[in-house]
Structure 1
Amino acid sequence: MAATIRDVAQASGVHVSTVSRTFSAPHLVNPETRNRVLAVAEDLGYRPNRAARALTTGRTHNLGLIVADISNPFFPPLIKAAQAHARLRDYHVFVADTDEDPQVEEELIQTLTKQVDGVLLCSPRLSNRAIEKLSEDVPFVVVNRRLKGMSTVLMDVGLGARLAIEHLTALGHRRIALLAGPAGSWTSREMSDAARAVAGIDLAILGPNSPTEHGGLAAAEAVLAADVTAVLAYNDLMAIGLVEGLDERGIEVPGRISVVGVDDIVSGRLTRPKLTTVAMPTEAAGRTAVDLLLQLVGAGQTATPALATLATHLIIRDSTGPVPP
């Protein structure tokens, strides 16, 4: 039979209410007593009833994590890091996938906010105004979208795009295409702004495109029509698809066209040629987002929105080379 709260209280020599406070409001319990209760609970295998605790504290100890496309290899490392980090704080993370659909995203937010203490929204497709309206009921942290008045975790893709373009210009490339992502994407806009700021290049922005291998494959004709010698793709999936599309047309990478991706997903290291890419700190973003969200959950209405910007870096592999003669 599973241990009960009364078993823990009796073995610890304290009242049942003290055991309850140890788990629901540990800061209200004397440290020595708290440690004794926790040790006894561990020995007895006692686990507090989450539903009962939620009635007492008003908290579920659940968080929602909404991503744009769970099949995209960019997201699983972020998800796993967020889940592991939340567990250390006695929180569980429930993951939902919008399939890149703003309407689905809105429905999921409306559903989750009734069941969790806070929401992590990763690479959203909704408008800023819609997100601000939907985030009124529970604490929100947004990953990869800058929103005024909301806590945000940004992976500095603008820095990464600049490093990628500068790498290409150092190889002699001047006619460069940016293969844009979905319409309304914050990441795509940041990349465009950063690329435009690099002097001395003739930049062609192609898109919007689906952020998938198929999207990159379908963009091969547009890349060839743009008469460029190098391409920076919105993400690695698109870059991999583009390399395939160029190969089908007899165009060598990097002999004729150099290609750079973004994300540093595993498959980019296995392609031929291996993909030059901007590495994104996805695991750090997951952990940081959980930290910011739990700060908001703990502070309630007094919380001040926070901004965390995480650095990106360029990994040079085999898909980039000197401009062809």
Structure 2
Amino acid sequence: MTTLENIPKNTLVNLQSEYRKTQIQDILDQLDRDLIGLIPVKTRIREIAALLLVDRLRKSLGLSSSNPGLHMSFTGSPGTGKTTVATKMADILYKLQYINKGHLLTVTRDDLVGQYIGHTAPKTKEVLKQAMGGVLFIDEAYYLYKPDNERDYGAESIEILLQVMENQRKDLVVIFAGYKEKMDKFYESNPGLSSRVTNHVNFPDFTPEELLLIGKLMLEDKQYIISEESEIVILEYINRRMQQPLFANARSIRNAIDRARMRQANRIFASGNKVLTKADLVSILPDDFLQSRLFTEI
């Protein structure tokens, strides 16, 4: 047994050197570049990464390890970056040698639960086999549990997941994701599952200003430009869209931009101009958004 007394007093660990070796900072920097806002999420991911690094350093000195739980819960609305962050989390776990492959497998209930007796176990086990060595990301995980349906086989899938999460913790990390309120009820209904999920990360909705910036970055990535007048219209579009059903944050903004690009193309085609300038091809005008039903159906 290793004790503080039998560890040489001159044993030194260069934290910064070890941190640089893992290349974790590169992953965190990329997360900052890829995602606007989400400061609480980024802070939580840094905290988890720091805990895992220190745990690894303790092991290297022969100190006892708390075996930090790695299974996680990502809660929040659609389009808030949960899958993107899960991918980066898989990279961090791989760099710190907590998983040996580092890939992310994203699934839903349909990938895990069968339609008849004897169908669920093979489906779930096949998914787990594919995910081994990496991270299994289960989106809308609350759909796995349907207590009001006696003929539902989701409970069987959960039982298999629990066994693997407990017995093969060194081979697989599971991230459950979905709306916070529904996920809270899901965990309340499955105390065995809740006890195995130690890291809970909540993803806040983006503000209108953050969504505008996200939209601008999406347009820049596709080599489009917008004027200040267009920005004002887009911000108004965002405020109106946020009040509509099925709003999905960045996902909804991406869809709106795709429709604006379609209107721009149709506008150019309908103009009848035989000669087009580069500016014609890259400019998104206010009217390309103002033709949305959010402005026309008032």
**What is the TM-score normalised by the length of structure 2?**
0.33
Q: Which has the higher contact order (CA 8 A, sep 6+)?
A: 2
Name the structure with the higher strand share. Answer: 1
**What is the TM-score normalised by the length of structure 1?**
0.31
Name the structure with the higher helix share. Answer: 2
